[in-house]
Amino acid sequence: MAQIDTVTAPLVIRFSPEEEKVVARAFTHPQGLVYLDLFWHQSSPDAAAHLIRGDLQGEGPWRIGDVRIRVLGCANTDPHLQEQFIPWRDYLNQHPDEYPPEAQIREIARRLGCLSPSGESLP
């Protein structure tokens, strides 16, 4: 199984050459991959958590069918995505106590049906 659950860096999901978005986190799911939008914790799971169905492949970058997932590059690598990323980075730096701790994030992912890298339910 592909190892994406432990990646805490911002990720880029490319749906097509015209559509890419920066996301906060991604977790393997029995049906594919669940990803969390930036600022997901200020919304509800039905609005901020999304399932991409298919077989997750790769060790980074990853793919599910035609969808590609990779770690966000620096401003020189991904200048077109910095408009999405910078407000997120600034928010995390300015409000560290408002973002859920890793254990809580993993619990939310578990409740969404996500799996650990070993294929078991997240602890």
Q: What is the pLDDT of residue 121?
A: 55
Q: What is the pLDDT of residue 32?
A: 93
Q: Could you read off the pLDDT of 46-67 as tens digits, one per residue? A: 899 999 999 999 988 999 989 9
Cis amide bond preceding 61, omega within 30: yes
First to last CA, the chain: 17
Residue in this structure with the two tokens 């970058």, named with its chain if needed: 61
Q: Which two tokens stand for residue 117?
A: 């890298």
- The answer to whether the Cα torsion of 53, 16, 24, 62 is positive or negative is positive
Q: Could you read off the pLDDT of 88-117 as tens digits, one per residue? A: 999 999 999 999 999 999 899 999 999 765
Average the pLDDT over 81-89 and give the result. Answer: 93
pLDDT bin (cut points 50, 70, 90) of residue 1 is very low
CA distances from 40 to 17, 36, 45, 48, 108 (A): 24, 6, 8, 5, 11
pLDDT bin (cut points 50, 70, 90) of residue 12 is very high
Say what the pTM is: 0.87
Are the C-beta atoms of 34 and 51 separated by less than 8 Å?
yes
